[in-house]
Amino acid sequence: MPAWRDRLRFAYRPVVNLATGTVVALEMLARPECGDVLAAARHSPGLHAELAALAVRAADRQEVLLPLHLNVYATTVAAEPGLTALCKAVHDAGRRPWEITLDIGGPFSGVPHPARGEGVALLREEGYRVCVARRPGTGRRRPRWPR
């Protein structure tokens, strides 16, 4: 087991329904105590998928009952084998895919549209909820996604 796993913690940020004021999900944020595993994950889809899987396992250990919100890179969604590690962790934790919202973020440039579309379609087919991240104030338009 790599040493970075021993020094990786997750922060939980509530996702609030603005109409009711209730917490409807928890966003899982990786917080390494040392090293730069997050920068490495940006360039390694396999490592990034593993981080997402570790987030689900951490929530399971903490007995989190709320749905989870996970940030994933478009490059990870488009890569083979995609988020297989995450799917296995969701199954092992006894969760259903529709309890997980995957917030897909950039960079989107350099990610082939067909591969990105196929990855999103596969995740939706498996039951995952998918949304697209956009940083406020960047003026960038959201990428086109298959319907």
Q: What per-residue confidence (pLDDT) applies to 27?
A: 94
Residue whose entry in the numeric block shows the structure tokens 């956009």: 134
Q: What are the 10-residue block averages of pLDDT along the chain, 147 residues in total?
A: 69 94 93 75 84 93 94 88 90 96 85 87 94 62 55
Q: What per-residue confidence (pLDDT) applies to 1?
A: 47
3-class state of residue 40 by DSSP: helix
Contact 31, 22 (CB under 8 A): no
Go through the domains of the chain in sequence order and give each one's CATH number.
Answer: 3-132 (3.20.20.450)
Q: What per-residue confidence (pLDDT) applies to 68?
A: 96
| Long-range own/partner contacts, residues 126-130 (CB < 8 A, 24 or more apart) | 126/87, 126/97, 127/96, 127/97, 127/98, 128/97, 128/98, 128/100, 128/101, 128/102, 129/98, 129/100, 129/101, 129/102, 130/101, 130/102, 130/104
